[in-house]
Amino acid sequence: MRARFAKILRREAISRKTTSTELDPLSIRLIELMQKDSDIGLAELAEAAGATTSSCWRRLDELRKTGVIQRSVAVIDPAALGLTVNVFVQVTLEKQNEAALRAFQNRIARRPEVMECYLMSGDADYLLRVVVEDLAQYHRFVVDHLTTIPGVANLRSSFALDQVKYTTALPTAHLRGSEAVGDPAPRRKPPRGSARRKTE
Amino acid sequence: MRARFAKILRREAISRKTTSTELDPLSIRLIELMQKDSDIGLAELAEAAGATTSSCWRRLDELRKTGVIQRSVAVIDPAALGLTVNVFVQVTLEKQNEAALRAFQNRIARRPEVMECYLMSGDADYLLRVVVEDLAQYHRFVVDHLTTIPGVANLRSSFALDQVKYTTALPTAHLRGSEAVGDPAPRRKPPRGSARRKTE
DNA sequence: ATTGAAACGGATCTAGC
DNA sequence: GCTAGATCCGTTTCAAT
């Protein structure tokens, strides 16, 4: 959906605290729908959410201002760009002091082929997902960009044979009190103290 | 940006082969821009791409029909939903036959907390990224959903301390002949056989 | 104050050159 | 392929609860 003044609004959004305001059912529904397809019209949104277009517009505006909805983006088919190879790299640094971490993160953040980077617990310090056309390109990335970062001690690369699932849609089931969403609601642990006695 | 007939068009898109049609500079530019912000208007797009709004509209339409642009989605702040914990799980199956793999993938694909799943080379069979509110919820996911999948032999969980980088924007530098994008164009290996001799 | 409806203005889409 | 016009929809305003 087109959000005309999104950019202006983002300004004030940053200043606001990310208040963990409880999200009401309308917000949750809108988030779910917009995560699936943000090109949906207000009319369709309103119908699917069981609300008026006005309500939906106002709520979306608020969700954007408060930074819950950060932006909308086009999802591109990686294969169409020839980017069929996913590589996970576990990176170990020589020293884990603040400066070393910052230096690494800054260098990594600028590399467009690095889709994700996580500071990890356990054996390795960082886990990266890198997307490339082929192994030759990956090799160039490692040699030209990874190993040139000061303090990088060790690399361990794992190659993905297939991307089984990839979604940008965060789960929302936990936001509703009960009645899970993508779930046939298997069996939920009773809320402590409500163990069935008489009904049995 | 609003794409009115997106849904109808998607139908024919699927039938078409994902032709690795060479992408011209306009398409590349549009992809870059739409990956950053799909709420941008046609006018802005056209200006940034150095083309008319009509050209851009037609090209976008084509990119959507051919499935290069799959859809647009809202990007949500995970923290706003309380989803601050990222876990990577390496899963090993007892047997790697077709049936076992399919069964696992089907079960995993339906779990909304699984954001990504890759079939891997190397020691483990699958690598998952799971997003949850806290460790308790992760524990429930493992017990209720992962270990209940038949054929799962071994799990190895690694916890992310911080999400340093996360982007949905695929790199595009490789699509252009030369002149890299997010790059000050450091030093490119000459194309084999053009080693400088006389110029030196 | 909050909500819905309806008019407005601007952007998308299309047809004609 | 570009320009200009018709149409649609996000945005705003206003009235009613």
- Cβ contacts below 8 Å, chain A against chain B, sum to 266
Strand duo B114-120 + B126-132: pairing: antiparallel
Q: Domain check: are A69 and A15 in the same one?
A: yes
B-contacting residues in A 161-180 (Cβ below 8 Å): 161-175
Let me know if residue B174 belongs to a domain. Answer: no
CB B134 within 8 Å of CB B85: yes
Cβ atoms of residues A38 and A28 within 8 Å = no
Q: Bigger pLDDT: A15 or B158?
A: B158
Q: What is the pLDDT of residue A194?
A: 46
Comparing CB atoms, the residue among A108, A118, A162 nearest residue B119 is A162
Radius of gyration of chain A (CA): 22
- Reply yes or no on whether the pLDDT at A47 is more than 90: yes
The mean pLDDT of B7-22, rounded to a whole number, is: 51
Give the pair of three-digit tokens for residue B187.
């030093």
Give dist(CA B75, CA A33) in Å, integer.
Answer: 12
CATH no. for residue B69? 1.10.10.10
Count of all residues that appear for chain B in the document? 200
User: Which residues in chain B (68-97) have CB-CB distances under 8 A to chain A?
Assistant: 68-83, 86, 88
Instruction: Write the pLDDT tens digit of every residue in A105-159.
Output: 999 999 999 999 999 999 889 999 999 999 999 999 999 999 999 999 999 999 9
Q: Do B77 and A86 touch (CB under 8 A)?
A: no
Cβ of B3 near strand C (distance < 7 A): yes
Is residue B83 domain-shared with residue B48, that is, in the same domain? no
Q: How far apart are CA B72 and CA A34, in angstroms?
A: 9
Residue B62 shares a structural domain with residue B88: no
Q: Which nucleotides of C are covered by protein (CB under 7 A)?
A: 3-6, 10-15
Q: At what angle do helices A53-65 and A25-36 cross, to 10 degrees?
A: 80
Question: What pLDDT is attached to residue B21?
Answer: 64
What is the predicted pLDDT for the residue at A4? 66
pLDDT-derived band at B5 (thresholds 50, 70, 90) equals low
Closest residue in chain A to residue B28, using alpha carbons only: A81
Identify the pLDDT of residue B181.
47
In a domain, B180, yes or no: no
Same domain (yes/no): B48, B115: no
Secondary structure (DSSP) of B85-132: EEEEEEEEES--SHHHHHHHHHHHHT-TTEEEEEEESSS-SEEEEEEE
Q: Judged by CB atoms within 8 Å, which residues 105-134 of A form the interface with B?
A: 105, 108-122, 126-127, 131, 133
- Domain presence at residue A68: yes
Give the residue from B74, B90, B117 where a domain finishes: B74
Q: What percent of chain B has pLDDT over 90?
A: 76
pLDDT digits (tens, 9 = 90+) for A10-45: 444 444 444 456 899 999 999 999 999 999 999 999
A54 CA to C7 C1' in angstroms comes to: 14
Calculate mean pLDDT across residues A68-77.
Answer: 98
Cα–Cα dist A45/A37, whole Å:
10
B59 with B27: CB under 8 angstroms? yes
A18 vs A46: which has the higher pLDDT: A46
| Nearest chain B residue to A126, by CA | B160
Closest-CA residue to B145 (of A110, A180, A140): A180
Range of the domain at A52: 2-74
Which of A71, A78, A120 shows the shortest C-beta gap to B170? A78
**CATH number reported for the structural domain that contains residue B100 in this entry:** 3.30.70.920
- Residue B170 is assigned to a structural domain of this protein: no
| pLDDT band at residue A177 using 50, 70 and 90 as cut-offs | confident
Residues of B in contact with A121 (CB under 8 A): 158-161
Q: Give the model's pLDDT for residue A22.
A: 84
CA of A52 to C1' of D17 (A): 16
CB contact under 8 A, B159 and A108: no
Mean pLDDT lowest for which of A18-22, A129-133, B6-10, B62-66?
Answer: B6-10
Across B173-195, average pLDDT:
56
> Which of B14, B170, B187 to mutate to test binding with chain A, by most A CBs within 10 Å of its CB?
B170
Same-domain pairing of B119 and B100: yes
Same domain? A95 vs A65: no
Average pLDDT along chain B: 86
- What whole-number distance in Å separates Cα of residue A149 and Cα of residue A159? 22
Asked if B42 is an interface residue toward chain A (Cβ–Cβ < 8 A), one would say: no
If asked whether residues A86 and A56 sit together in one domain, one would say no
- Of all residues in chain A, the percent with pLDDT exceeding 90 is 76
Nearest CB among A69, A111, A173 relative to B76 is that of A69
Angstrom CA distances, A174 to A84, B78, B83, stand at: 33, 12, 9
For residue B95 the two structure tokens come to 């047997």
Are B65 and B87 part of one and the same domain? no
Whether residues A90 and A147 fall in one domain: yes
CB crowding A21-46: b at 16 or more within 10 Å, else e: eebeebbbbbbbbbbebbbbebebbb
B5 touches strand C (CB under 7 A): yes
B30 lies in the same domain as B93 = no
Average of pLDDT values for B166-181?
Answer: 84
Q: What is the mean pLDDT of residues B140-156?
A: 97
Domains identified in chain A, total number: 2
Cβ-based burial of A182 (10 A; exposed 0-12, middle 13-18, buried ≥19): exposed
State the sign of the Cα–Cα–Cα–Cα dihedral A5, A8, A14, A20: negative
- In the predicted model, what is the mean pLDDT of residues B67-92? 98
Residue B111 pLDDT greater than 70, yes or no: yes
Per-residue confidence (pLDDT) for residue B198, from 0 to 100: 40
For A77-187, strand residue ranges (E) read 85-93, 114-120, 126-132, 152-166
Tell me what the mean pLDDT of segment A170-197 comes to.
60
Same domain for B124 and B59: no
Report CB contact under 8 Å: B74, A69.
yes
